[in-house]
Structure 1
Amino acid sequence: MMFPDYRPRRFRRTENLRRMIRETTLTVDRLVYPLFVSAGEGLRNPVASMPGVFQLSVDELLKEVDSAAALGIPAVLLFGLPETKDEIGSQASAAHGPVQTATRRIKEHHPELVVITDVCLCEYTSHGHCGILRGREVDNDATLEALSAVALSHARAGADVVAPSDMMDGRVGAIRGVLDDNGMENVGILAYSAKYCSAFYGPFREAADSAPQFGDRRTYQMDPANSDEALRETAMDIEEGADMVMVKPALPYLDIIRRVKEEFDWPVAAYNVSGEYAMVKAAASMGWLNEEPVMMEMLLSIRRAGADLIITYFAKDAARLLREA
C-alpha cells in the first residue's frame, strides 16, 4: 500500500487510536525487583553509583519487599552479602546465610511472592571469581558441586526459582539433578544463559562487593562480539533443564533477546543491569534526560525485543507509573 491510499498517521491521531493498534505492552506482571541482602540488623547502606539502591539487612529488606508487593510486583531476585568470605565461598550455602534467611522471612510475610535467588560464588569468595580456583583459573567441574549445594540451600529455605549466574558449563544439569534427588523437583531454574562479559556491570560489583581481585571473567562469561554462541549456550541450558533462560545485559543485546526468543520460543528474561540504570540516573540528575519517559521507553524496548520478564532496579518506579496509567 502506498501514500495517499495508505496513511499510517490516521491511527496515530488520538491516544485511544494508538492504544487500539499498540503491538507491545508493558505491565507490572513482567517486572522482577533485584535486591541486595546483607547480614546484620538495621542496615540500609546506599550504593553510591546506583541512586535509590541499597544494601539491606533482612529487617530492612522486608520493608522494601512490602512496598514492592503493594505495587503488584510479582517477584524479587536476591543477592547476598555475607559477613565473611573465603577461597571457596563456603558461606554461599550456609543454612542461615543472608539469602537463605531473607527467603524464609519473605515467604512468612508474602507466601505468594515469587522468590528468585542468585546462585553464584562471586559475592562469597575472597578472590571475587564465580567459582573454585585451581591456581589462577576457575575450575569448571569443581565449581558445579559448590553451585549445586548453594541452589539446594536456597530451595530448602523456600526459594521458588534458583538462578545460576556463574556461566560454568553444565551447571544447569548439575543443579537440576541435585534438586530432583532431594525432592525439590518443583523448584524452577532461571539460567543466565547468554551472560556477556560486559562493561555495564561496574555499579553492581560495588553493590554486591563482588569485583574480581585479579584478572577478569572473560574465560567464563561470553564474548560481546558473539551472537551464534548465545544460541548454543541457550540450547544447552534448555536441554539440561532450564525452565527460563536469560540474556544479560539487556540494552546492548536486544538483538540477542530477539534471536533467543525466535529460535527457542522459550520463556526469556532480560536483565536491565546496573550500568544501564546508573546511566539514566546520572543523566537525569544533570538535567540531560527526563528520567521517567526514558525509563519506560527503555523497558518497553526490552519487552518489544522479546523478553517475557525484565529484571530491573527501576521495578518500583515503573510499577507506580503503570498503576497510574
Structure 2
Amino acid sequence: MVPPPPSAAAVGSGNIAAAGDTALLSELVDATSRVRAAIESVVTGRPGLADITLAVLLAEGHLLVEDVPGVGKTTLAKALARSIDCAAGRIQFTPDLLPSDLTGVNIFRSGSHEFEFRPGPVFSNIVIGDEINRASPKTQSALLECMEEGQTTVDGTTHILPRPFLVVATQNPVEMEGTYPLPEAQRDRFMARITVGYPDTDAELLMLERQEATTPLSHLEPVTDGAAVLRYAAFVRGVYASASVKRYVLALVGATREHPGLRLGASPRASLQLLRAAKALAAMAGRNHVLPDDVQRLARPVLAHRLIQTTESRLGGVTAEQMVDDIIRRTPVPALGPSDHR
C-alpha cells in the first residue's frame, strides 16, 4: 500500500526536514562515539584528545599535535586514519625533504612523449605529517595551499585534493635539536593544537598490558567512511549558533588582541575556526545548537598556538595557554534564552 503524501502543513512547517536532521544527528553521534572508542583503545589515559581530534575533522580543519617523542602523537593520528575507511598518507618530515615529495611530480613518458603527473602523499583524505618541524621552512610552506584551499599547484597546473581532507601534523618542541619553528602563517592554518602529555601510572600500566605482545593499531577496523564524514561535516556547518554565542566568540578573540602579555593576538581566521569547531563539538554531544561551554572547551586548543607573547611574559614563565584561560575567566559568559536554541 502506498503511503499518503505528506500534508502541505507538515511540509511547510519543516517537520520532514527536521526528522531527517534528527536522524543524521543521531547517526553522527553514534559514529563519532565509535571512532572515539577506537582511538581511546590505542591512546590510553588521555581523555578529551579524541573529542578535539574529531571536532577538527568534522569542522574541516587541520590538527597540530605537539609533544616530546614517544608519547603517542603519531599513534593518535594513525588510530584516527584506521578508524575511517578512506585514503590515508603518511609523510616523514626530514631536513632534506623537498616540496615535490609532498605534492607530487610530473614524469616524462618517452613512449607517449607526454608528461604524467604522479601525485604525492597529500592526495589522501587523511594526511599524517610526522615531525613536521624537522623539515625546512620551504618544505613546510608547501602545505599551505593544500591546507587552506584544498588544492596544490605543480608546474603551473592546479590539482584538486580529495575530500574530506585533514592534515594531522605532529611536531617536537622547538627547543629540541634539529627542529625549525613553524612559520606564523602555517601555525594559523591549523584549526587546533593539542599536546598528548605523559599518561598516569595506571594508564601506562594498561598500555603495557595491551601492547606487551601486539600493537592495538593492527586490530583497529574502520567504523565509518569518508562519504559519511562528508555528510556529517555538511550537517555541522548548519548547526545553529546564536548572535549571543557569536559575540562571545568575538569577545574571547578580541581580548587576545588587547592582552598586555601578547605581542600578536588571534586572527579573524581564529574566530571563524573557533565557531566551526564549537559547532562540531555541539553536534557530537547530540545538540543542533552551540553553547558557550562548547566555545570555552575549545578556546585553548584553537587560540593558544596562534598567539605571540611579549618577551616579558615569556621570561616571566607565563604560557599562552594560561593567558587564554585567564581571558576565559575574565570574559562574561552570555545568558542564553529560548531564542538561542533551535
User: TM-score interval w.r.t. the shorter chain?
Assistant: under 0.3
Report which of the two structures shows the higher radius of gyration computed on alpha carbons: 2
TM-score, normalized by length of structure 1?
A: 0.25
Structure with bigger RCO (C-alpha 8 Å, 6+ apart): 2
TM-score, normalized by length of structure 2?
A: 0.25
- Higher helix fraction: Structure 1 or Structure 2? 2
